[in-house]
Each structure stands twice: as structure tokens, then as C-alpha cells.
Amino acid sequence: MGPLGTTVGQRPSRARVLYIGGLGRSGSTLLDRMLGQVPGFFSAGEVRDLWQRGLVENRLCGCGTPFRECPFWLEVGDRAFGGWHTVDVPAVIALARRVDRHSVIPLLIAPRAWPPFARSLGALGQVLSPLYRAIQEVSDARVVIDSSKAPSSAFVLRRVPTIDLEAIHLIRDSRGVAYSWAKRIVRPDTPGQVTLMHRYPAYRVGARWITRNALMEVLGRLGVTTVRMRYEALVRSPAGEITAALRGLREPFDPDDLAFISDGHVRLGPNHTVMGNPMRMDQGRIALRIDEEWRTAMDRKRNGMVTALTRPFLRRYGYDP
């Protein structure tokens, strides 16, 4: 038996994980889905939410099936743990809440500074290691894409010995992010009930935009290969940005692998994403339209507040403050 009631098999092979990090409402689900169309890549969605949103709440997988009934995720649970029923899910969630937090990133960088924390981190790693390996095996992919976004989760994965971690630092204009976080958006993955995506005030989004982008830069300085990408550039030049990202990550690919991108559209196939933006449920030919509604619809007070808070980083990332 493994930690937290799991049955962990011997898996010497390493899992390759491409983590999309930054702040939500920056196009991470779109990027995840697009990369998932490249041969050898698998879109897993926001894996950090698998335990609560998937196993506890049984929300819809990206394929439209309730998570606990999805054949893909059932096989992942079988391969990783001998079945999801062997996992003490409340204990995993409690452990993740202690370890996977931005306030403890100094300890994630130097866990030996506090041995009890190091032990908790190791216990979580013993759960995540077989999970990601099983996702890679069942999907038959070379790279698993995790679009959980939260930098703290990337710092956790960096400490799992059997995971080879790379990252894309995804950035969007802070004003567009703040405007999006204020919208009322209904989730499509909770049939039979109306569930809204979280909403946050502009000042809080501005502060989080700074800290999360800064933490993704720290991750790169710690040796994790990281490619920086702007949401606006991805929508305007999708083939060019995906090509640049793959080259930056030194991933082999053929130009024909990007045939799903054409003339302001992408063609997206079925997926098994855990969580993400509502567009994760979309399939077929999807139009790429840059969302800059904030430029005309965002009130001057909120715009000015976010601009003032984030001005140094806006300039750093090439935006006009």
C-alpha cells in the first residue's frame, strides 16, 4: 500500500509534463487544447482540480461524460492506484491544501528547511508520480499538458523526482484579465444546476496578476525550461506562437502537425480535460477572436486601478500602460 491509502505500483519511467502557468482568464484552456492537437501531446486540463472537481463533485470530463464514468479516467485510476476507490480522496485534498499554496513557495524551493513540510511534500509526490505516469501511459502521449495555471502546483511538480517538468508562462494584458474575472460566466460542466465561475474585484486581480507572473519567472530561474507567451499573440498568430513554443521547448514536430490551424480558426478534436474554461467542451472548427472588450466596456476607475497596480510588469511584458 502507498501513502493515503493508495496502491502505488513500481513505475521507474519518468513522466514528461508541460505546465501552463500564470493567472486564470489568460487563454490557458485554449492553449492547452491547441497543444493537445499536436501529435505526442495530451491535454489533461487542470489536473490540480482532479480530486475535488472530478472525484468528489463528478463534474463533466471534456468528453462530456461525468468524470467518475469516463473510460479514460477510469483506466488512469486503475493503472495509477488499482482504482480510484483505493484513494483516500479527502486526505489527498487536505494534503494538497497544506502543500500546494503560494504562501509556502519558499518551502517548496527549500523543503529541507522544515522537515514536517518536506515529509508532506514527499507524501503528495507519491500520489502525483503514479497519476501523471498513468495519464501519459493511457493517452500514449510523449508529453502531458497540465493547464492548472497556479505557479504553486508547478513548484510542487518540480519536486516530484519522477516528473520532467517544462513550462509555458502565459500572459495576458492585466486589464483584460481583470475585466474577464468580473464577468458572470456559467459553467457547462455541472448539468442540472447553475454553477458560476468565480468572480474577483479588480484590485485583487491586479495583485494576483503581479505575483503569479513573478512566480512563473522564479520557476524559470530555478532551472525549469520555460517559454513565455502572450495570449494576444497566440490568437493573432496561432501557428507562429505554437511553432515558437515547440522550438523553445526543443520538441520535434513536423509543419504538417499544425494543419489544424488555418485562417483564424482551429479545429479541435475530442478531449479528456479535467477542468478549465467552458470552451474545453467545444469541438470542431473554432474561430479565434481576440477578446479585447475591456478596452471599451471596462469603466475608467477599474481600468486605472489595475493599470496603476501592474504598470511595471505591463511594460516588462510589452504592453502599453
Scanning the chain, the segments in alpha helix (DSSP H) are 28-35, 71-81, 89-99, 105-109, 115-139, 151-158, 174-181, 202-221, 231-236, 238-248, 294-297, 300-316
pLDDT band at 228 (very low <50, low <70, confident <90, very high): very high
- Which of 123, 174, 124, 170 lies closest to 146, judged by CA? 170
* Torsion angle, alpha carbons of 208, 214, 219, 225, to 10: 110
How far apart CA 224 and CA 17 sit, in angstroms, is 11
How far apart CA 88 and CA 123 sit, in angstroms, is 13
3-state secondary structure of 36: coil
pLDDT band at 186 (very low <50, low <70, confident <90, very high): low
**Vertex 285: Cα angle to 283 and 291 (nearest 5):** 95
DSSP 319: -
Total count of domains within the chain: 1
The x, y and z cell numbers of residue 15, run together, are 513522466
Whether residue 321 lies inside any domain: the answer is no
Q: Is the pLDDT of residue 10 over 50?
A: no
The x, y and z cell numbers of residue 3, run together, are 501513502
Range of weakest confidence among 124-133, 163-172, 181-190, 205-214: 181-190
Q: Is the pLDDT of residue 5 over 60?
A: no
Mean pLDDT for the stretch of residues 306-318: 96
71-81 and 115-139 helices, crossing angle to 10°: 130
Q: Is the pLDDT of residue 11 over 50?
A: no
Structure-model confidence comparison of residues 159 and 197, the more confident one: 159
Mean pLDDT for the stretch of residues 58-69: 96
The confidence score (pLDDT) of residue 181 equals 85
Q: Give the structural domain span for 67.
A: 3-316
Mean pLDDT for the stretch of residues 252-258: 95
The confidence score (pLDDT) of residue 196 equals 59
The confidence score (pLDDT) of residue 197 equals 64
How far apart CA 239 and CA 284 sit, in angstroms, is 17
The confidence score (pLDDT) of residue 75 equals 98
- Residue 167, beta-bridge partner list: 19, 226
The confidence score (pLDDT) of residue 1 equals 41
- Which of 220, 233, 218 lies closest to 171, judged by CA? 233
Q: What value does the mean pLDDT of the chain take?
A: 93
How far apart CA 67 and CA 54 sit, in angstroms, is 5
pLDDT in tens, 71-86: 999 999 999 999 999 9
The confidence score (pLDDT) of residue 189 equals 58
The confidence score (pLDDT) of residue 321 equals 85
Percent helix / strand / coil, the chain, rounded to 5? 50, 15, 35
Range of weakest confidence among 11-25, 66-80, 306-320: 11-25
Question: Which CATH number covers residue 102?
Answer: 3.40.50.300
Given a contact cutoff of 8 angstroms between Cβ atoms, the answer to whether 28 and 276 are in contact is yes
